[in-house]
Amino acid sequence: MDANQLPPLTPDQLHALAAGHGVAEFVDPTTNRVYVVSESGGTMALDDAYIKQKLDEARADAKAGRFTEGFDVESFLAEARERRGARS
């Protein structure tokens, strides 16, 4: 499917995006994979609570060994902090 022919969003998906200020998570019921959908155009803004929640989830996954081999959570967090500092 070409990017110019994206499927339309359902009313529930549009509501979730509006409630999340342009960002929403959706779960594929077949695979239980979570997808983050964001409004394009402009700069995507995530609030600090969302970022903290996702970092806490990532830390818990790392402690439980749920990351694929070769992923270094500390390097990832260091890079995220560096990028955040560059934006400030």
Same domain, 1 and 38: yes
Same domain, 71 and 34: no
The DSSP line for 24-86 is EEEE-TTT--EEEEE--SS-----HHHHHHHHHHHHHHHHTT-SPTT--HHHHHHHHHHHHHH
Same domain, 32 and 7: yes
Same domain, 6 and 31: yes
Residue 10: what pLDDT? 93
Per-position pLDDT tens, the chain of length 88 = 565 678 899 999 999 998 988 889 999 999 989 888 988 875 666 778 888 888 898 888 878 877 666 777 788 888 888 888 776 6
Count the domains in the chain.
Answer: 2
